[in-house]
Structure 1
Amino acid sequence: MSDTGRDPTAERLQHLVDAGYPDARPVEGAVEGAVYLVGQGRVARVWEHRHGSELLRMQRFYADSAGHLPFEAPRILAVQDIAGVPVTVEREPTGKPLAVKVRTDDPEVLPEAVDCLVRVLRGLADAHDVDEVKRLPVLDEERPLWEGHTAFGTALADLIDRRVGRCSAPLSARVTDFAGKRARLMERLRSLPATTPEAVVHGDVFPETVLVDDDLRPVALVDYGFLSTGGDPRFDAAVAAAIFPTSVEHAAEITRRLTERFADEFGYETDDLLLYRAAYAMATCDAFAPGGGDDHFAWCTSVLDDPAVCEVLAR
């Protein structure tokens, strides 16, 4: 692994060249690691927080999901160790990110883009073969989310309990009545009925991870691994509505409209979506900067102080 603060791109490129990929070049930064084109329709993904055994499990999950999702999942061709860093060699996905096809800072979201998200969420909600994905760790943890649990709500509550202690001071400074909100959220999550059919939860559905054709139809969903597991499909709907907008000016309105559409489309209660959105914010608040302090941390605190979220947590 590279030293903290050091750009490892040149070093990794050299390792890929030495490993037999002379045409390797960087493509983009992704949540779960850098991606490099390596030729012959393949990409190499460098995983910062995963072990080879976990990636082999993800390879099996991708293979299993091929028959259950109405769009492509990544296909891992090989799991390798390059200079002590786990790397997956994957088939280069088809389609273009929805983000390059639509504006995500306009309060009038293109209807075709919303329809696309609905198709993705429906495909995930209908994918009930979750054995492999439930065994995956989430975020930077080494233990599967479901370890020791039989219900999604309690598993999520324990995840939050493990993580928010690391940045409780900055959260308390930025979020009104953080301790009270945390306690009420944990209570609500632990009391959720375990009656919702388990489905594949991607955990990060937004315009960068949804690949589309020229008619904005979803052809692939990529970047599993950040918070991918099995569980309540309402979680993906809650998160997708909130992380779609890129404009601070219009974010609240866009999120409100998407939340209403997803609730109406799937018959979800809005309160449940707001509850899961708060859970996502607490669980991921320091996912990109230990102790918080980055833009994602600021976004998470804004979610936790959203009047609609506050109202749900106050009940």
Structure 2
Amino acid sequence: MTDTTHDTTARRVRHFVDAGYPDAGPVEAAVEGAVYRLGDGTVAKVWEHRQGSDLRRMQRFYADAAAHLPFDAPEILTVEDIDGVPMTVERELSGAPLARRIRTDDPEVLPEAVDCLVGVLRALAAAHEVAEVKELPVLDEERPLWEGHATFGSALADLVERRVSRCAGVFAVQVHDFYRKRATLIEKLRSLPRADEAVVHGDIFPETVLVDDELRPLALVDYGFLSTGGDPRFDAAVTAARFPAASERAPEITRRLTARFADEFGYAIDDLLLYRAAYAMATSDAFAPGGGDEHCAWCVSVLEDPAVAEVLRR
């Protein structure tokens, strides 16, 4: 933790203590910001890249999701402000992250763990009330992903085009034939037919799925990074790739999960690989301007995957 981060954390904890939460303390840094346990069954989440209006829309989406999903969604109790940064106070959800229950670097992943992921993906694919979530911006952008678009593929193509240019230099050096791959990906995304729209979480992996002792899903958390309404194949594509830990067996695990999801839902593997490439290009500099961090290196590995490269060669 840097000195600046430490000072910010200490200042925020003092804010919560002064506001009547004497047991407040930091929990973890989520993708969208820092989380603090307040000690009364609630947590505070400080959103670094969101406006209050976005969070109130997220509040309405969560309330709707809770009525349509078979597991819990976060519940935003209030939207507030701390040091000029928007903050939500949310009900603390039960369950432990799936990552604490299993080894994500083992190709022989427990069948119960894979069944858990299948159940989460199936539930999201069946959640078609997407009006609120389609109005959300993604990553650190200010406008909704869908603004000016009639299809998910077109919206995603524009996102890729905007974002990947920010670390094109890194990709040009590390990804074989990068510029042709980028052009092919954008063209293929734009030509995708309209799909049935469902809730897309955008970043499901073992830390965002809360489970019980039998690995049954109790809640899905950390919406907001790439949450929107769109093609449920996107979540399946990302989940299969984000599930395994960084190990030499990760490609094998990803291939197995991709095949399982394709078989379970009747998805074409080429479509999953296409969406995986889109995720890699769109998020490559999500955590470090210009790329160059561990996540960017992971995105390079996705684009260098022979199966992904083959899809972008056709």
For normalisation by structure 1, the TM-score amounts to 0.97
Q: Does 1:306 align with 2:305?
A: yes
- Provide the rounded CA distance (Å) in 2 between the counterparts of 1:9 and 1:243: 28
Distance 1:251 1:43 in 2: 33
Give the drift of 1:5. 6.6
- 1:249 pairs with 2:248: yes
- Which digits, 9 at most, give the CA deviation of each residue in 1:241-297, with x for residues without a partner? 000000321000000000000000000000000000000000000000000011000
The 3-state SS of whatever aligns with 1:8 is helix
Structure 1 residue 126, shift from structure 2 partner? 0.3
Tell me the secondary structure at the aligned position of residue 58 of structure 1. Answer: helix
Q: What residue in structure 1 maps to residue 28 of structure 2? A: 28
Amino acid paired to 1:261: R
Aligned to 1:141: 141
Matched, 1:206 2:205: yes
Whole-Å separation in 2 of the counterparts to 1:122 and 1:143 = 28
Structure 1 position 142, deviation (Å)? 0.4
Cα distance change of structure 1 residues 218 and 5 upon mapping to structure 2, 3 Å threshold: closer
Structure 1: unaligned runs, 5 residues or longer:
none
When structure 1 is superposed on structure 2, of 8-17 and 244-253 the one drifting more is 8-17
Task: Give 1:170 deviation, angstroms.
Answer: 1.0
Cα distance in 1 for residues equivalent to 2:267 and 2:52: 37
Give the CA deviation at 1:59: 0.2
Residue identity (%): 74
Q: For residues 309 and 94 of structure 1, what CA distance do their matches in structure 2 show?
A: 37
Structure 2: runs of 5+ lacking an equivalent:
none
**In 2, distance between residues paired with 1:41 and 1:237?**
32
Q: Cα 1:259–1:108, aligned 2, differ >3 Å: closer, same or farther?
A: same
C-alpha separation between the residues in 1 aligned to 2:98 and 2:110?
11
Aligned-pair CA distance for 1:19: 2.9
Q: Could you tell me how far apart the structure 2 residues matched to 1:309 and 1:7 are?
A: 43
CA offset at residue 165 of structure 1?
Answer: 1.2
State the distance in 2 between where 1:82 and 1:280 align. Answer: 31
Report the alpha carbon displacement of residue 7 of structure 1 after superposing the two structures with TM. 5.3
1:117 aligns with 2:90: no
Following superposition, the deviation at residue 92 of structure 1 comes to: 0.2
Once the two structures are superposed, the pairs formed by residues 188-203 of structure 1 within 5 Å of their partners are 188-194=188-194, 196-203=195-202
Alpha-carbon deviations, 1:167-196, whole Å to 9, x = none?
1111111111110000000000000001x2
CA distance in 2, matches of 1:312, 1:52: 40
Q: Secondary structure at the match of 2:38?
A: strand
Contact 1:106 1:247 in 2 (8 A): no
Looking at structure 2, the residues matched to 249 and 68 of structure 1 have their Cα atoms a distance apart, in angstroms, of 38
Matches within 5 A, 1:145-184: 145-184=145-184
Say if 1:138 and 1:3 are closer, same or farther in 2 by CA, change over 3 A. farther
Q: Is residue 2:90 matched to residue 1:90?
A: yes
Q: CA deviation at 1:10?
A: 1.1
Residue in structure 1 matched with residue 216 of structure 2 by the alignment: 217
- Do the aligned partners of residues 3 and 192 (structure 1) sit closer, same or farther apart at CA in structure 2, a change above 3 Å counting? farther
The amino acid that maps onto 2:107 is P
Q: Corresponding residue for 1:227?
A: 226
How far does residue 21 in structure 1 lie from its aligned partner after superposition?
A: 2.3
> How far has the Cα of 1:29 moved from its partner?
1.4
CA–CA separation in structure 2 for the residues paired with 1:209 and 1:289: 21
CA contact (8 A) 1:62 1:75 kept: yes
CA deviation after TM superposition for structure 1 residue 15, in Å:
2.1
Once residues 37 and 222 of structure 2 are traced to their aligned partners in structure 1, the CA distance between those partners, rounded to angstroms, is 15
Aligned to 1:50: 50
Deviation of the 1:12 alpha carbon: 1.6
Cα RMSD of the aligned pairs, angstroms, is: 1.3
Matches of 2:118 and 2:32, distance apart in 1: 24
Give 3-state SS (helix, strand or coil) of 1:314's partner: coil
Letter in 2 for 1:39: G
Normalising by structure 2, report the TM-score.
0.97
